[in-house]
Amino acid sequence: MGATVEQALEQLKSTGVRMTPQRHAILSFLMNSMTHPTADEIYKSLSPAFPSMSVATIYNNLRLFVDAGFVRELTYGDDSSRFDADLSEHYHAICRSCGTIVDFDYPPLTEVETEASRQTGFKVEGHRMEVYGQCAECSRPNS
């Protein structure tokens, strides 16, 4: 797993970003979430504790975290972006019915970067892969 919330906050502070309770809450929520939430889902979860926080505040802070490299933005088709604080190399299996995203690892796939570089001359900086289908819940008969 990547950095702890405290390490991320220290790193943000060192770049001159003020750490507000809202920022702390958003980052903690993301780092503890396994569901790759949307900004809306984060808002719904945090608004009881932060009634004055707007969806715009969430978006602005997510943008800040993405720019700082703590959070990865996942965009799939026209759906709203989902956010992932796990920056380790991992892949996503996505249910076409309910939108559930499940992480999985497959180390041999990193060879793809070497091969892409060899064939194209690109200086490869990363890759992403998604697998699509029906999650166990949605593919169950009578669900």
Annotated binding site: 95, 98, 127, 135, 138
Residues 3-29 as b or e (16 or more Cβ within 10 Å = b): bebeebbeebeeeeeeeeebbebbbbb
For residue 5, give the 3-state DSSP assignment. Answer: helix
How many of the other CB atoms lie within 10 Å of CB of 109?
A: 12
65: closest CA among 17, 33, 103, 102?
17
Binding site residues for Fe cation, as ranges?
127
Phi, then psi, of 31 in degrees rounded to 5: -70, -25
Binding site residues for Zn(2+), as ranges?
95, 98, 135, 138
